[in-house]
């Protein structure tokens, strides 16, 4: 379905123009007639050059925080009594170009006869599936502004957790990069200064120094090859992070590493409980909630799909979660209480709060351990290299004397 611009006359003979979504030019003209307009000109809106690359590179797209702000602002405007179209138009007057294009496309789709949820579904790269599901329920039952406010609060909470996770991982990653850079600098520029002196005296250095000298010589002779390999690895990593299947495999692999496994389990439990509680609290059925979660779970999509299939066959949710090992035993017991009491949504959200708190504590402990440990390792490695080379030089000096 494409976007078509049009010029037409309304029932009072006034000139109007705008855009609508349709499958073809004739279909767009027919839709204008159904709306009571007399079409004058209808043509497809030209796609901007490089749109595919911009989409792949995420250039000109809204980030999740900006989407959360838009949802919250829209909820406030709807609570103030503005109609949906007026609220979208008012938001579009004072936002960045990417947000303005998104709001314009949504207004165009609504003006073409689509529902709000259907208009949001046309932008799957920007609007998550769970938001669309809750908006669809709100359109049927009413209370769109309340649902949007709940969505904004939930997204803001998830963003705070994600920021805490990334912040805890950023410092060790920085230390690792600095350590590698120091070692490469030492091998390329410092060790060669001593290699010539050791070679002139013709003495046989100890095995550790021999390995360091050999590695330094190899890096000096094959610097272009090393840079090419590093560039290729960086490109492959970029592609992997942009490709869903590869990204999910990478996340699953990292989640099996010691020290990270516990963090991944806590975050997965918090996300599952939070998503389940939010969707159920806003009127989404259990099977639809599980389907939405499976579509947006990333690396955990397969086990959640298994849970969905078992629930559809008549299984109890908590039993299915336990069999697939998606949540730890304590979370399963909490959810079982909610399922048996009919308060699954409330208990799931409290469970999410509990595990988000545990996740924050685990990240604080991990950051407190990894940072000093990385500094100690870097100091030991660099110090060992310096001591070994200096010891070799001192032994050569004693022989010369």
Q: What is the pLDDT of residues 108-119, one digit of tens each?
A: 888 777 788 888
How far apart are alpha carbons 396 and 330 in whole angstroms? 65
Strand pairing class (2-9; 38-44): antiparallel
Q: What is the pLDDT of residues 328-373, one digit of tens each?
A: 888 889 888 888 888 888 898 899 889 888 888 887 787 777 777 7
Quick one: pLDDT band at residue 45, thresholds 50, 70, 90? low
393, 197 Cβ separation under 8 angstroms: yes
Quick one: pLDDT band at residue 2, thresholds 50, 70, 90? low
Among 68, 94, 127, which residue terminates a domain?
Answer: 127
Could you tell me if 171 and 293 lie in one domain? Answer: yes
Quick one: pLDDT band at residue 50, thresholds 50, 70, 90? very low
- Token pair in block for residue 3: 């976007």
Please indicate, yes or no, if residue 18 is contained in any of the structural domains.
Answer: yes
The full DSSP string for 218-256 is HHHHTHHHHHHHHHHHHHHHHHHHHSHHHHHHHHHHHTT
Mean pLDDT of 251-280: 79
101, 45 Cβ separation under 8 angstroms: no
Question: What is the distance between the terminal CA atoms of the chain, rounded to a whole angstrom?
Answer: 86
Could you tell me if 381 and 262 lie in one domain? Answer: yes
Please indicate, yes or no, if residue 139 is contained in any of the structural domains.
Answer: no
Considering the chain, what percentage of its residues have pLDDT values greater than 70?
A: 81
> Most confidently modeled of 36-40, 168-172, 264-268?
264-268
105, 91 Cβ separation under 8 angstroms: no
Could you tell me if 251 and 170 lie in one domain? Answer: yes
pLDDT value at 211 more than 60: yes
Could you tell me if 354 and 283 lie in one domain? Answer: yes
Quick one: pLDDT band at residue 1, thresholds 50, 70, 90? low
List alpha helices for 243-343, DSSP H: 244-254, 261-281, 286-296, 301-312, 317-323, 329-341
DSSP code, position 187: I
Quick one: pLDDT band at residue 58, thresholds 50, 70, 90? very low
The residue ranking higher by pLDDT, 204 or 88, is 88
CATH code of residue 221:
1.20.81.30
Could you tell me if 216 and 326 lie in one domain? Answer: yes
Could you tell me if 98 and 20 lie in one domain? Answer: no
Cα 156–chain centre separation? 14
DSSP code, position 23: S
Residue among 284, 268, 271 at smallest CA distance from 131: 284
Task: Indicate the Cα dihedral angle 103, 108, 113, 119, nearest 10°.
Answer: -40
How far apart are alpha carbons 68 and 393 in whole angstroms? 62
pLDDT value at 53 more than 80: no
Please indicate, yes or no, if residue 134 is contained in any of the structural domains.
Answer: no
Q: Total structural domains in the chain?
A: 3
Please indicate, yes or no, if residue 138 is contained in any of the structural domains.
Answer: no
Could you tell me if 62 and 200 lie in one domain? Answer: no
Among 72, 102, 127, which residue terminates a domain?
Answer: 127
Please indicate, yes or no, if residue 367 is contained in any of the structural domains.
Answer: yes
Sorted by sequence, the CB contacts under 8 Å of residue 30 that are 6+ apart come out as none
Could you tell me if 284 and 331 lie in one domain? Answer: yes
pTM of the model: 0.62
The range of the structural domain enclosing residue 27 comes to 2-46
Quick one: pLDDT band at residue 3, thresholds 50, 70, 90? low
Considering the chain, what percentage of its residues have pLDDT values greater than 90?
A: 0
Please indicate, yes or no, if residue 198 is contained in any of the structural domains.
Answer: yes
Please indicate, yes or no, if residue 135 is contained in any of the structural domains.
Answer: no
pLDDT value at 150 more than 50: yes
Could you tell me if 231 and 287 lie in one domain? Answer: yes
Bridge partners of 15, per DSSP, are: 9
> Most confidently modeled of 79-83, 118-122, 199-203?
79-83
How far apart are alpha carbons 30 and 10 in whole angstroms? 14
Sorted by sequence, the CB contacts under 8 Å of residue 125 that are 6+ apart come out as 55, 61
Bridge partners of 22, per DSSP, are: 2
- Token pair in block for residue 52: 């595919």
Could you tell me if 60 and 34 lie in one domain? Answer: no
Please indicate, yes or no, if residue 148 is contained in any of the structural domains.
Answer: yes
Q: What is the pLDDT of residues 295-326, one digit of tens each?
A: 766 667 788 888 888 888 888 888 888 888 88
The SS3 call for residue 288 is helix
Could you tell me if 246 and 298 lie in one domain? Answer: yes
CB burial of residue 100 (10 Å; 0-12, 13-18, 19+): middle
pLDDT value at 400 more than 70: no
Q: Which residues of 284-318 are buried (b: 16+ CB within 10 A; e: fewer)?
A: bebebbbbbbbbbbebbeebbbebbebbeeeeebb
Could you tell me if 217 and 356 lie in one domain? Answer: yes
Residue reference for tokens 């749109």 = 51
């Amino acid at each position: 379905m494409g976007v078509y611009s049009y010029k037409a006359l309304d029932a009072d003979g006034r000139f109007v123009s705008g855009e609508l979504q349709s499958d073809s030019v004739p279909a767009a003209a027919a839709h204008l007639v159904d709306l009571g307009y007399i079409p004058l000109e209808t043509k497809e809106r030209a796609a901007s050059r490089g749109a595919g690359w911009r989409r792949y590179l995420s250039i000109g797209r809204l980030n999740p925080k900006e989407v959360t702000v838009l949802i919250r602002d829209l909820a406030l405007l709807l609570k103030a009594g503005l109609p949906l179209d007026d609220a979208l138009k008012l938001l579009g007057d004072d936002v960045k170009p990417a947000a303005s294009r998104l709001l314009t496309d949504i207004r165009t789709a609504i003006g073409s006869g689509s529902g709000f949820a259907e208009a949001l579904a046309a932008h799957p790269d920007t609007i998550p599936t769970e938001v669309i599901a809750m908006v669809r329920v709100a359109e049927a039952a009413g209370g769109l502004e309340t649902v949007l406010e709940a969505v904004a609060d939930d997204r803001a909470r998830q963003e705070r957790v994600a920021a805490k996770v990334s912040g805890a991982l950023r410092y060790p990653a920085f230390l690792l990069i600095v350590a590698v850079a120091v070692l490469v600098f030492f091998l390329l520029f410092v060790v060669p200064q001593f290699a010539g002196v050791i070679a002139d005296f013709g003495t046989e250095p100890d095995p550790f120094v021999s390995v360091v000298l050999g590695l330094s010589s190899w890096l000096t002779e094959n610097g272009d090859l090393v840079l090419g390999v590093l560039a290729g690895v960086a490109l492959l990593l970029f592609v992997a992070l942009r490709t869903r299947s590869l990204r999910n495999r990478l996340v699953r692999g990292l989640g099996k590493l010691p020290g990270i496994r516990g963090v991944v389990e806590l975050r997965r439990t918090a996300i599952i409980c939070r998503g389940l509680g939010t969707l159920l609290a806003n009127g989404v059925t259990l099977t639809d909630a599980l389907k939405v979660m499976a579509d947006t779970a990333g690396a955990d999509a397969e086990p959640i799909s298994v849970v969905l299939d078992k629930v559809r066959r008549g299984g109890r949710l908590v039993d299915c979660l336990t069999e697939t090992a998606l949540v730890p035993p304590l979370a399963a017991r909490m959810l079982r209480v909610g399922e048996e009491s009919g308060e699954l949504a409330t208990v799931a959200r409290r469970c999410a709060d509990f595990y988000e708190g545990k996740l924050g504590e685990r990240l604080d402990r991990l950051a407190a351990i990894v940072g000093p440990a990385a500094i100690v390792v870097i100091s030991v490695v660099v110090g060992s290299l310096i001591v070994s080379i200096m010891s070799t030089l001192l032994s050569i000096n004693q022989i010369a004397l």
